[in-house]
Every structure is written in C-alpha cells, then in structure tokens.
Amino acid sequence: MANYRIAPSILSADFARLGEEVRNVVASGADIIHFDVMDNHYVPNLTIGPLVCEAIRPHVQVPIDVHLMVKPVDRIVPDFAKAGANIITFHPEASEHVDRTLQLIRNNGCKAGLVFNPATPLHYLEHVMDKIDIILLMSVNPGFGGQSFIPHTLQKIAAVRKLIDESGRDIMLEVDGGIKVDNIAEAARAGADTFVAGSAIFGKPDYKAVIDAMRSELAKV
C-alpha cells in the first residue's frame, strides 16, 4: 500500500482555540498540518501569516505545510521558514522567477513545491523537477474553504503521477479542495498520495472518526 498522508487544513479550524485544534487533529491521526496563506491580492481572501505559524509550531511535531497564495512570493518565504514551516509551496504564476523561488525555499531549509490551480497548465514543471519535493494540485479554485471537488482534477492527478514516475524522483503529490471520505479513494487511484481536507475534518465533531474513515477508504485502493 502506498504511503498516504492526510493533511487537515486549519483554514476550517476554530481560530479562537487554534493550538488545541492542531493538537487534537494530530492526536486523531493527521500526518501534516496544512497552512493556507492568502493575501487578498493573488486570491480574494485574507487569512494568516508567519506569526500564526510560529504560534502553532510548539503544539505539534508533524510537518507544517505552508501553501502560499500570495504575490509576490519571495519576500515572505524566509519568514515562514523561520516560523517553523517544513514545506512551502507557491503558485508559479505568482513568482517572477520560479526556479529562484524554489531555490530560496530550499536554501531556507524547507521542502519546496509548486501549486497548480484547476486551469493552470503543467508546463511549469518541465525544467524544475529536480528542485521539487512536492506538487500540489488544487481541485477547487483557491480562496475559500468548503468548495466542491472539480472532477477534471483526476485527469490532472494522473498526468502529474506519470511525470513523477518518469522522473524517478521521490516527489509528493498532494491534492487540495473538496476532499472527503467519499472521494479520497478516487483521488488516490488517480495517483495522489497526500490529501488536504478542511471542512471535511474540522467541520465534524469527531476528527478521529473522519480520519479513520479516510484511511479505511485509502486501504481499499
């Protein structure tokens, strides 16, 4: 069985008790904490910054996966690395120099990756596969939680899985948006190995029950 990872997105958590929320979701079986950063410029919403990352870092031992939905990107990368991020991903169209930004993330001690919106072409990957640790495919348009999974993403997941396999590199393939118990296996069959889920987990009273149900579905793949 593939090494599947579940990454709850704190975008859907109760921000009034965020430390407790991240501790609870990790105790319930989460592998990664997904941290959505929006700037009300690249995407039409405003969320959280490095200070919040720094605040939750002492509460969990699992990796913190920072998804930057910001433009420009480079200025904020060192701040998140210093705040305790382990993985930093960004949108290629939000960077003036994709290769440079990937190098910047790695130079600051973090794993680096690119994020692709539903309509963003994959050609950005052509010359940087050797500098990527993770590829994140958005299965909704970024900006807000609680949206429905866009089915066409499955074809894109399969295309990226093929690129990763052909590269021979150990690159995580993450999917984010509308992931829940009844479609996580479908995304896994297409080739994803890391699953971001926000409202599907934090919107339920029993986090462990949801994560266990997701793992049960993944075990069938």
Query: Which residues are catalytic, by number?
Result: 36, 176
Rg (CA), the chain: 16
- Encode 57-68: b = buried (16+ Cβ within 10 Å), e = exposed: beebeebbbbbb
Query: CB atoms < 10 A from the CB of 218, how many?
Result: 20
> Are 25 and 202 a contacting pair, CB within 8 Å?
yes
> Are 13 and 28 a contacting pair, CB within 8 Å?
no
- Rounded-to-integer distance, Cα 73 and Cα 87, Å: 14
Question: DSSP label at 71?
Answer: S
161: Cα within 13 Å, side-chain hemisphere: 17
Q: First and final CA of the chain: distance in angstroms?
A: 8
